[in-house]
Amino acid sequence: MHVAPVGGTAVQDHVALAEIELCGDLIIAASAAQDRLSLESIDEVLKVAEERDAHGGAGD
């Protein structure tokens, strides 16, 4: 049986970690909501407007 070495060998994928965090944020928001989340609510949870503004606005 082959076992991975212990300690310091983990590789962090920062993009994957960010996506996991966003999924968690959506799950929390959906759990707290009375009804289905609207597209606007989803965008708010994912901070879409903030990202758009940080990268030069819509349509760029």
- Per-residue pLDDT of 27-58, as tens digits, reads 999 999 999 999 999 999 999 888 778 877 65
pLDDT at 11: 66
Q: Does the pTM exceed 0.85? A: no
pLDDT at 60: 47
pLDDT at 6: 63
pLDDT at 51: 76
The CA distance from 29 to 47, in Å, is 13
